[in-house]
Structure 1
Amino acid sequence: MRTPLLARFAAGLFLAMPLLAAADPRYTVTVLAGPDSRAWDINLSGQVVGANGDNAWLHDGAAYIDLGSGTAFGINDSGQVAGHSGNNGFFYSGGVMTAITGWGFTTARGLNNDGVVVGMAEFEDAENGFVRHAISWQNGVTTDLGTVYGFQSRAYGVNNQGHVVGGSDIGGAPNYPLTPFLYRDGAMSEIAQFPGPWSEATAINDHDQIVGFGNLLPNGPELYPRTAFMWDDGVLTDIGALSGGANSFAYGINNASQVVGWFGNFASERGFLFEHGSFYDLNTLIDPASGWVISEANAINDLGQIAGTACRDGSCHAVRLDLVPAVPEPATWGMLLAGCTLVGWRRRLRTRGALFR
């Protein structure tokens, strides 16, 4: 009796599946802007903002939109954008650009889905002269968020509950060292202390999980090496870096607790993804034949898309990393094909039985 064509096809495909699955990369690389561009943030729709030279831009998923001079740092799920241009922060919504002027020099670094923008503003203090404080801004109203101990602070991220993170001066010289802060319920508090002078929180998700970087003690060629961290309800996790990386910086976290950033020694930076307790070089998750080197990752949305920078042939571009559709595991394919084969055999046997009745 001859082997049915369906069975032979199923067996061949099943044997090939492990090779097909193993060859698939996790991400594809989509270029969003020209040379010397950087991507800073991404929303749930995959829209990305950044800077191309001295120009801020928005990529709405279909087209590149030039927002004029400056840098776009944040975008929310409605497509509203925050950034800075010249000496002022800006808020872009529905094609209208609004300046955030505060007291003096301002910059906007992040925003949430309610249109709350956070950043930093300069003002004159009678005792200390010109100082810079973390601020929030909404509907034309600027709020001074204060400091933890000293007289300077700056905000980088805000979640959809209005909780803000950044770095605050802890007092003393030199260079007014910074410590990571969380602003919540009208008060700013320190979340962690590191031995080096410049440590900051850079992003926060809707579960109040916070990421950033902390300064360590001098180590080898690095005067003050940085290490990426995640803070969760009082528990501080040192994300660290792969072997040989002197520094690591975390810049984005989504609501699935996936963290992105970069690691390296300022001469050979590489983007990373941290999830489920494991640290991955993003360059191991893309097709090596593409020639791209992911040098930094600055944001990740809840769908797992990543905004960052990739370099190839001496040119660096803003990119979005998109997940490749999942391929079922070989075992899953095997069960499905076995089921199809079994169904085919049963139908054939029923047909034969009907012929001899």
Structure 2
Amino acid sequence: MRKLVLGFILTLVAGLATACQPPPTARYAIQDLGTLGGVSASADDVNNAGHVVGWSMDSSSRQRAFRSDGVTMTDLGTIGGRESSATAINDAGEVVGGSLVTDNTRNHAFLRPPPGPMGDLGTLGGTNDTSYARDVNASGEVVGGSYNTDDLLHAFQRGPSTNNVMTDLGSLSQGGYSTATAVNNNGDIVGNSENSAGQTRAFLRSGLYTGGRMVDLGTLGGSTSLAADVSTSGFVVGSAFTASGQRHAMGIVYGGAMVDLGTLGGPDSDARAVNEAGHVVGRSTTSSGDGHAFLHEGSSMVDLNSLIPAGTGWVLHEATGINDHGQIVGSGTHNGVYRPFLLSPAPEASIGDASVTEGDSGTRLATFTVSLDHTTSRSVSVGWATSNGSASAPGDYTAASGTVTFAPFQRTRTLSVTVKGDLAVEANERFTVTLSAPNGVTVGDGVAQGSIVNDD
């Protein structure tokens, strides 16, 4: 759910680092969402249920809006024409985007409820009869752009607050263009508009903070800025040009100064979305000039390619959406083919301590529980091995190693180490079991103590 963010403090105390706290660095499981039968597809947004929307080529080489639950990709149809594309989905499952109408020459904004079908939202009355929806909030407020009766491209809003009539939001200047890109749960809208100097600027339109007026959010020293997303508590992300002419990802809290989010070492970057925790995703060039997807973690930008397992065949080029569970969608090349991806935070594996009474003879088992902090729909595993402490193998216990495998949606597993009994009077002893070689998981508390309790 890339547009809905809660809980920010609306004061900029020490730059962006105080506006969004960094999450722990995590590895992600990556999933190729596939296509509708064509060669390529692209993901644009993900809601808190993990449902993804975007576009895909189908087997007839048509571009079609899709929704994916991570297992099945569904063609959302059109409003009469050949092609369509989805741009956003809210937690109710309502999808918005654009579709060609019956003559296949005009594009109209659409709203599709979960059962369907796709509904035509109309236009602002321009002669070219064109509109496109960019976002929908929890209340069903839709924003985007359409040509009005003066044949100017203007931002629009349509929903309960406008009696479901498409309403022209105006622009920053008389005769200037505008388009809305995001709306939060408070009804605050951001987008881009031409100012009186003919420059494109990010804008905010808020009933509470701007009195319902469109306000220029400024730049990073250059002449242009672009807003892509806004949180419910007032954090806007996008991009802006610097004084040296470079385009950089930016963030700005209502009433604060625009902050440069940096790059991955190259000259340009662009923020696309932000989640409830303030984690920002987008695209940036690297020092070698490649375009890579990024995750901005408070004060640092991280290449998402470094957070997925090696050897997957993926190159992640852009990240376009992030939900409140940290799932990220975007597009990249998988074994050279352009595909949409879904990144899900890998579960964290931890192991608990175990204790066993030694006994006078024979053997007993010390049983350790390995658990995941959350389940996953895929099979994952983690290796383990014993090591000596005050207890030594092979006299006190049998050295062992192995792999614990979790089936899909399984959260706990156990492993056992053989402890040997004796008649010696001695202190309690310990050995260690350490987790290693994670596959599809990260390791949290990865060291456990095995206690051998003397009973002689």
TM-score normalised per structure 2: 0.64
What CA distance in whole angstroms lies between the structure 2 residues aligned with 1:136 and 1:291? 41
**Cα distance change of structure 1 residues 250 and 102 upon mapping to structure 2, 3 Å threshold:** same
What SS does the corresponding residue of 2:149 show, helix, strand or coil?
strand
**Cα distance change of structure 1 residues 236 and 194 upon mapping to structure 2, 3 Å threshold:** closer
Alignment map for 1:196-215 (pairs within 5 Å): 196-215=222-241
Which residue number in structure 2 is paired with residue 282 of structure 1?
Answer: 304
**Paired positions, count:** 307
1:77 aligns with 2:81: no
What CA distance in whole angstroms lies between the structure 2 residues aligned with 1:39 and 1:290? 19
What CA distance in whole angstroms lies between the structure 2 residues aligned with 1:169 and 1:114? 28
- Any idea what the Cα deviations from partners look like across 1:240-286, whole Å, max 9, x if unmatched? 1022x111000000110000000118972100000121110000000
> Which of 161, 164, 179 is 2:201 aligned to?
179
Query: Is 2:219–2:258's contact at 8 Å kept on the other side of the alignment?
Result: no
What CA distance in whole angstroms lies between the structure 1 residues aligned with 2:75 and 2:201? 35
Which residue number in structure 1 is paired with residue 216 of structure 2?
Answer: 190
How far did 1:308 drift? 0.2
Which residue number in structure 1 is paired with residue 170 of structure 2?
Answer: 146
Which residue number in structure 2 is paired with residue 31 of structure 1?
Answer: 32
User: Identity percentage over the alignment?
Assistant: 32
**Cα distance change of structure 1 residues 284 and 95 upon mapping to structure 2, 3 Å threshold:** same
1:254 aligns with 2:268: no
1:57 aligns with 2:66: yes
What CA distance in whole angstroms lies between the structure 1 residues aligned with 2:112 and 2:445? 47
What CA distance in whole angstroms lies between the structure 2 residues aligned with 1:33 and 1:197? 40
Alignment map for 1:217-232 (pairs within 5 Å): 217=243, 224-232=245-253
Query: Is 1:110–1:117's contact at 8 Å kept on the other side of the alignment?
Result: yes
How far did 1:217 drift? 4.4
Query: Is 1:25–1:287's contact at 8 Å kept on the other side of the alignment?
Result: no
Structure 2 gap segments, 5+ residues each: 1-24, 58-62, 78-82, 101-106, 351-441
**Cα distance change of structure 1 residues 289 and 161 upon mapping to structure 2, 3 Å threshold:** same
How far did 1:209 drift? 0.5
Moved more, 259-268 or 248-257: 259-268
What CA distance in whole angstroms lies between the structure 1 residues aligned with 2:264 and 2:339? 24
- Any idea what the Cα deviations from partners look like across 1:25-65, whole Å, max 9, x if unmatched? 70111111333211000000110000113211111333211
What CA distance in whole angstroms lies between the structure 2 residues aligned with 1:27 and 1:120? 35
1:263 aligns with 2:263: no
**Cα distance change of structure 1 residues 275 and 116 upon mapping to structure 2, 3 Å threshold:** same
What CA distance in whole angstroms lies between the structure 2 residues aligned with 1:40 and 1:317? 12
What SS does the corresponding residue of 2:445 show, helix, strand or coil?
helix
Query: Is 1:215–1:225's contact at 8 Å kept on the other side of the alignment?
Result: yes
Highest Rg: 1 or 2? 2
> Which of 445, 450, 455 is 1:332 aligned to?
445
What SS does the corresponding residue of 1:113 show, helix, strand or coil?
coil
What SS does the corresponding residue of 1:52 show, helix, strand or coil?
strand
- Any idea what the Cα deviations from partners look like across 1:214-234, whole Å, max 9, x if unmatched? 02345xxxxx53100010131
Query: Is 1:116–1:162's contact at 8 Å kept on the other side of the alignment?
Result: yes
What SS does the corresponding residue of 1:332 show, helix, strand or coil?
coil
Matching residue's letter, 1:27: Y
- Any idea what the Cα deviations from partners look like across 1:281-335, whole Å, max 9, x if unmatched? 000000121121110000100000001012133211011101100234978343x
Query: Is 1:88–1:106's contact at 8 Å kept on the other side of the alignment?
Result: yes
More helix by share: 1
How far did 1:208 drift? 1.1
Matching residue's letter, 2:89: I
1:107 aligns with 2:123: no
- Any idea what the Cα deviations from partners look like across 1:152-195, whole Å, max 9, x if unmatched? 111111111111111111134xxx42101111002211122345
Moved more, 318-327 or 262-271: 262-271
Structure 1 gap segments, 5+ residues each: 1-23, 219-223, 353-357
Matching residue's letter, 2:183: V
